[in-house]
Structure 1
Amino acid sequence: MHAPSETQAVSGGQADDPPPPSSSRPLDHPGFVVFLTARTLSSFSSQVQAVAVGWQIYMLTHSARSLAWVGLAQFLPMFCLTLVAGHVADHFNRRMIVATCQGIEACGALLMAIGSFGHWLTPPMIYVMVALFGTARAFEMPSQQTFLPALVPPSVFPRAAALSSSLFQVASIMGPSMGGLLYGIGAGFCYSTCAMGFGLAMMGTLAMTLEAPVRVRRPMTLATVLGGLHFIRAQPEMLGAISLDLFAVLLGGATAMLPLYANDILHAGPIGLGLLRMSPAMGALVCALAFARWPLNRNAGMWMFVAVAIFGIATIGFGLSTSMPLSILALAILGAADVVSVVVRGALVQLRTPDEMRGRVSAVNMLFIGSSNQLGEFESGMLASLIGPVEAVVLGGVGTIAVTLVWMRLFPGLRRLDRLDDIRPAQ
């Protein structure tokens, strides 16, 4: 799943804007609407691009190893630069960082479109461009994740976070489908659509008004770069939420086995694989929409533990299933349970963290999430090769439940966490 806080603010920023109007409805805050639009466009474009890159590199090389190189090209910049990006987010204008990264992504997608139309885009060039996108995302995400607390008051945050998650899930569902359709016309059309989406996202980001303090820039040192890690260590509830998500995803990596299940166990073919891949996002979307209507504001910590346990049970159910409808249902429940963890962890990370630390803490959170996803796929694949896919998935689900029970004893403060809208920055 992710030293005492600095009391003096850090700089680069836009001038203070008036605080958002008080309202219990997130959509009543104009800046939040602009943020949702820009974030959704950026996420949608990233999903379309991922499909185009995967298909194109395989068509050019007909090598599964080439797909692995694409994954590595995306992962390495995040792993190497995320903590540095967190420092940058806390010392410079966050809105301009995000807009610059989205501009770089738009230019990169446009270059790939031109190369595809001209038939001169080669695999090494694709790897370089993917690494460029990975670098831009490494700097974009920690800054972008700090926007929500600056756009809505804490009382609205749980509902706003759920609505933001809902639109992210919509992008996760529509992006791959649209990418596949556009690739049928040509890779250049995919990348052109991405360039347009990233460009519109950049314009939306620039149009946002954020309430932000004037910051005093500090030199980059090991202490400032690692400040997010030190802060999280000093916050047991936040440490518990991030580490619980880390181990749950690391152990319960059922999604890594979807191609094998679709082909060898469920005998559903590529269409079945598409349905399986959509199922967690569909479940997550339904749950996120429910939270947007009925925010999670009572016994939030306990609900998080229950949801992670359900995540483990659903993983076991998927692992044992030989029925396509039952497998889809298990994956949808798995996706819905994951949203509970996302909402609680997001509230803790964004509301418990002082503004001058949010970039670095968000960067650590991103690093934990990215590492758990990547390592979870690796762990599931290696374990499946040793003991079999069904046994590997079921064992991962059992491990997730065991971790949940242990974490309930290790982090009693997280278990007792009640209202998300009462979370305040740590002093």
Structure 2
Amino acid sequence: MDLAFTPEEQKFREEIRGWVRENLPKEISDKVHNALRLTRDDLQRWAKILGKKGWLGYGWPKQFGGPGWNAIQKHLFEEETALAGAPRIIPFGPVMVAPVIMAFGNQEQQQRFLPGIASGEVWWSQGYSEPGSGSDLASLKTRAERKGDKYIVNGQKTWTTLAQHGDWIFCLVRTGTDGKPQTGISFLLIDMKSPGVSVRPIIMLDGEHEVNEVFFDNVEVPAENLIGEENKGWTYAKHLLSHERTNIADVNRAKRELERVKRIAKAEGVYEDRRFRDEIAKLEVDVVALEMLVLRVLSAEKSGKNSLDIAGLLKIKGSEIQQRYSELMMLAAGPYAIPFLPEAMDAGWQGEFVGASYLAPLASTYFNLRKTTIYGGSNEVQRNIVAQTVLG
């Protein structure tokens, strides 16, 4: 197994780096490097820049309008954009629902939905979790009843990320009650402008409105929006979740944030403290180990071998690393990390009162990343899956 990049791959990396340098707006990268709030316009602006280049669907095959990159090229693209300070691509459209539509949707659905995802024009949300049905997703209760050429949908989804911006939402809905819970679930695409769809914000500990509750009250959905076969949605969901859990690992963002930890530690005068340096070293070892694990998977794919079934393991380690680097930033800043005034941050003057301005978002980041070990399948559940599928 060779984990070194070839000259051709290094050349590809340089091409990506040069293009990103020329096209990533500086005001957006500055926000990312300093963990400041990104607006919908910021995220959509970068998505459309990538879409115009044909790279928003960077993991797509050429037959669906993607660049047709191999696994190594996709990894290098993710790494270079992350290190440059590009926002994460909102994954629900290009990374999650698009592969499901490609694999299980019919030709009409592919022609209808994929172009808007690829261009960045259409914002998608994910309707999976419900009150009482998160890690135990098979127990979901949102009901879709077939009435002629329509489904009538009633129920509730929760923790729906950025649903306040959503144009469309892909949902797991219950269409049958016979047999195991998994056998009565279908995969439905719903226009969020449909009558009966309402979104209610959930304000988090950091004061941000990132997640929502979504309610469906007798929402009429054309039957043509059903992906694949009725009651086969669990199969499609598992296909999607492997993409989500790998995406959560986000080793490239971890590498960027590791450098941010070092910058903050140096600026706050704790980088020379040997015990603090030990903690940074431990984090760096974990980040390198996670990257090696990712590269092992990519190496297997590149050589045509079956890649390791370790999406859950990547999710576990990646989410724990995200929490750890946020903790170290807080420790480095000390009491200056405690005050958190969103309005002051937006006004740009908080740093004058509580220390350097780059410390202002640290509490927000810390609070926000508490959730990473829960969403996408809690780490406790993922450990059980890894034990069954990897260890045997």
Shorter-chain TM band: 0.3 to 0.5
What is the TM-score of this pair, normalised by structure 2?
A: 0.34
Higher relative contact order (CA 8 A, sep 6+): 1
- Greater strand share, structure number: 2
What is the TM-score of this pair, normalised by structure 1?
A: 0.32
- Greater helix share, structure number: 1
